[in-house]
Each structure stands twice: as C-alpha cells, then as structure tokens.
Amino acid sequence: MKRAERRRASRKQGDRDNKSQDTGTLLADAIARLEAGELPAAENLFREILVHTPNHADALHLMGLVHFQTERAAQAIELIRRAIAENPNVAWYHANLARIYSERRRFDDAVESYDKAIEIEPDRAEAHANRAIALEALGRNDEAELAYRDAMALVPDNPDIQFNLGNVLLRKRKTDEAIQLFRHVAVLLPRHAGVCLKLSEIFSTLGDFDSALAYYDRALVLEPANLEVQVDRAIALARLQRFDEAITEFEAVLARQQNHVRAHYSLGLAFKNAYRMAQARGCFERVMVLDPDHAFAMIELGACLQRQNRVDDAYALYGRAYRIDNNNFDNIIKTMTTLPYGRFSANYQRMRQMLETMGS
C-alpha cells in the first residue's frame, strides 16, 4: 500500500474510533438523564445517536422507554421492535416490550414477549411473575399458578409474588394453601393492611369469625380511619352474636359518617337479631331515605311491618324489591311465609304474579 493510501486508511479508522467514542459518551449521558427522569434531554441525546447510527439497538430500545414514559405507547412499541430486529437476543428488550403490551391490555402479545425473555434468561424472576399477571388477565389461571411458582422458586420470600399466587389459588378453590401464603406474607410484611383484609375476608367466608375478627383488628391498627374495615369488623361481631359490641361499633362509624348506608343497614340487622325491632325498623327506614332502591332494606322493612300485621304495606315493599331485582324472589318468599300474618301459596308461579302486581 502506498504511503498516501495508508494515511487515508488511518484517517478513516480514526474517524470510526472517534465516532464510536462519541456514541458511547452520548449513550452514557442519555442513560444518566433517563435515570434522573430528565426525559426531554434523554430523548434528544438518543435522537442524536440515531441520526448517526440509525440501527443502534440500545438507543432504539431506550428511546422506546422514553416514548412509553411520555404516553406514546404505539411509537414505543415500534422502536423496541426495531431494537429486537437488530438484536433479538436481549431479554431486557422483550421484557420491556411485554410490559408495554400489558399496559395496553394486549395480554396475548405480552405473554409471547415474556416467553421470549424467559427463553433467553430463564432466571429472570420478574419476567416469570409479570408473565403470570398477564396470564391471570387472560383468565388462564392454571398457567398463571405455574408461572408464579416458577418465580417463587427463584425468589422464595418475595411477598408480592406470594400474595398474587394466593389470589390465583383462591380462584382455584385451593383455600388452605392460599391462607398459608397470605399468613406468610403477613409475617414478611407485618404492616401490610391488604393481606390482613384478605385473610379476614377468607375467614368470614368460611364462617370462622373469630379468626376474621383478629385480622380486622390488625388491619384497623394499620388503617384506623378505614370505615369499611370498621363496618366489616362490626358485622363479624354480630355474626358471633356479640350484638352489644357490634351495635357500639356501627354507631361509632355513623358518628363519623352519618349517611353510611351499609352501616345503617348492618346496624338494622344487628338490632333485628338482638330482638330490638323498633330500632331495627328505624335503621331500615333510614336506608330507604338514603338509597330508595335498596332492595334488601325493603325486604327487611317489610318484615318489620309484617310483624306488626301491616301486611299490605309489607307486601308493597316486597313487590318493589322484586321489581328492582327478581333474583330476590326466594329471599322474599322465605320472609313472607315464615313470619306471622303471611299469605302463603304453594304455587310459586302465583306468588311471582302476586309480587309483580305489588309495589307499582
């Protein structure tokens, strides 16, 4: 090679080295801006890189993340797809594309992208867990359970994964295992009110109101201003026939929020079960003022009136409740026919016709 040609080749190599150094410097600066939340500055730097190196996979991917964080999801997807086309063997690219798909509720696409991320890096616990969330959204609970278990095998004491797996197990009626997981989460995160509420809800459903009450108490220590939890706790007390305590709890809720419909209704039930019928009736009447279409309050108020031999008024309320929701039929018939002064017919069709003519 002649001396002049060697000089030209050396200058070209130097230009390439300088360009590579400039790109590396720009990329490092852009990443620092992105991590600092300086998105416009980061975007400008990524754009500058892509002007000189249009197929730079990392810049395309990170530019996609900037677009996603600035609510330009469609462009983000296109940019990350371009990055994957340039380098399909980076798990991070596939995982972030899956995350965007999930945000856009494109869960089938999300699962496919998580599958590719996991194929490249099988030990990514976050990818397994997020794949499970997408599978849950698709109603594919068996696969979601397996995906959560894969994640748990990698990070055994992650409370979020355990909590989510517990929810899947509940849907699959694996209640005992779900309880074990939720209890473990409660140990890992003793200030997690949500898991206390989940356990109290499960135990209430199982009829174990003593256990439910214990977790309601823990939840209220963590969230003392949560009126809904206080109402649920009072309901548990009532189910344990601790009516005086339940009534006191309901009244404490109503002292803080006087128009709390559920508290008035549940207080009415507590009064009824404690055989304090006049006070029960007052509660149900208050519910009817606050929520005129509260079908259950209509039935309970009708029962109070029926006990007083005000049968026409009672049946008018039953008719209104039936017209609001005819799924209440069996509950209404039970009330009508087990209380004094009821009008019973063995023909259910005739009872339905009677209800349809009432309350209009």
Would you kindly state where each structural domain of the chain is located, as residue ranges? 292-360
Which pLDDT tens digit goes with each residue over 217-228?
999 999 999 999
Would you state the pLDDT for residue 263? 98
Which pLDDT tens digit goes with each residue over 5-36?
434 433 433 344 444 447 788 888 888 888 88
Quick one: tokens of 55? 């197929």
Residue 343 has pLDDT above 80, yes or no: no
DSSP letter string, 106-130: -HHHHHHHHHHHHHH-TT-HHHHHH
Mean of all residue pLDDT scores within the chain: 88
- Higher-scoring residue by pLDDT: 227, 3: 227
Rounded Cα–Cα distance for residues 318 and 322 (Å): 6
CB atoms within 10 A of CB 90: 18
Rounded Cα–Cα distance for residues 352 and 333 (Å): 9
Residue 100, CA distances (Å) to 60, 68, 323 in order = 15, 7, 46
Q: Nearest Cα to 81, choosing from 99, 65, 94?
A: 94
CB atoms within 10 A of CB 89: 11
- Tell me which amino acid residue 360 is: S
Residue 355 has pLDDT above 70, yes or no: no
Burial category of 133 from C-beta neighbours within 10 Å (exposed 0-12, middle 13-18, buried 19 and up): middle
Q: Vertex 244, ends 241 and 274: CA angle to 5°?
A: 60
Contact 253, 241 (CB under 8 A): no
Would you state the pLDDT for residue 326? 77
Contact 206, 230 (CB under 8 A): no
* Whole-structure pTM value: 0.79
Residue 84, CA distances (Å) to 58, 75, 77, 93 in order = 9, 14, 11, 7
- Higher-scoring residue by pLDDT: 21, 174: 174
Least confident among 125-134, 135-144, 246-255, 314-323: 314-323
Residue 290, CA distances (Å) to 205, 221, 256, 353 in order = 28, 30, 16, 29
- With left for phi above 0 and alpha for psi between -120 and 50, is residue 44 left, alpha or beta? alpha
Place of tokens 């517990």: 166
